[in-house]
Amino acid sequence: MSLPANPVTGSPRPHANGPSAIIGVSLKMYFGYERTLDWCRDVARIASAHPAVRSGDIELFALPAHPVLPECARILSADGAAAGAQDIFWEDEGAFTGEVSGKMVAETGGRYAEVGHAERRRIFGEDDDVIGLKTAAAYRNGLTPVLCVGEPGRGTAADAIKHCIREIDGVLNRAESLARAGRTIVAYEPQWAIGAPEPASPEYISEVITGLDAHLRSREGQADSRVIYGGSAGPGLISQLGPAVTGLFLGRFAHNPAAVKDILDETAARLGLLEPAGGRA
């Protein structure tokens, strides 16, 4: 089945009624050029054979390093998935040595732009104002921003919700002062869970995302936006989470393409689109 094209990038668009779940993968800087392409080919084959991806019920995307993006976008878009960038600059062109614009990301087939990851905040000193500028650049260039938020230390779910709402509002208020709001994917990644052996507890994740999702979608222009979970997310997690959690943002646990297939199957089973392993109870 052929999906209609994105008018900006020419890549497949999700189901006409919007995806029921979202699975994203950031490859960070773990892979070299050829290994990234091999991973994309493997994931594309999985996507091509997966009915929930092909139908658009599951939105699947990957964020490789910039030099590999054009080829990754070509490989993945042919089979119902998509690609994007792990970062963009806030201007579309100019004397900004070493930066990559959202305009170029869109021109090379990208459909997403990750902004605000905890590593960008910690290592490069990015704050909500800078992240808001980058989010505006994503909107302006037809990209879906993947906005990462998360509390720095472990505490209560109520405290996490307050912290993340401040981040969401700080970023989106700045972005919307410069560009018309568009669909946003918020990746809730508690900083204390990033790189940890295990994610936050399913109960904690579900409570926080329920609060964040309600707040995000109450904002003007964000009715189609969603909150997904990242932070040591991997196989076996999605089926334990509440209905407000519409997907996962994966890192190292998706380096093995077989794990991506497992997560897609678990997500489809959760949606009632596929029998879980071992059949239904």
Give the other-Cβ count within 10 Å of 177's Cβ. Answer: 10
pLDDT band at 274 (very low <50, low <70, confident <90, very high): confident
pTM for this entry: 0.90
Q: Which DSSP string corresponds to 116-139?
A: --HHHHHHH---HHHHHHHHHHHH
What mean pLDDT is reported for the chain? 91
What's the rounded Cα separation, in Å, for the pair 225 and 252? 25
**Domains, the chain, with CATH or none:** 21-270 (3.20.20.70)
User: Where do we find the tokens 């993340």?
Assistant: 164
Out of 117, 126, 207, 266, the active site residue is: 117
Q: Which of 151, 189, 207, 266 is catalytic?
A: 189
Distance, CA of 207 to CA of 161 (rounded, Å): 9
Q: Is 71 a catalytic residue?
A: no
Q: Give, in order, the Cα–Cα distances in Å from 52 to each of 156, 180, 274.
A: 35, 31, 8
**For 193-216, how does the pLDDT look when each residue is reduced to its tens digit (9 = 90+)?**
888 888 889 999 999 999 999 999
User: Is 107 marked active-site?
Assistant: no
Q: Is 148 helix (H, G, I), strand (E, B) or coil?
A: strand
Strands (E), the chain: 21-26, 58-63, 82-85, 112-115, 144-149, 185-188, 226-230, 247-250
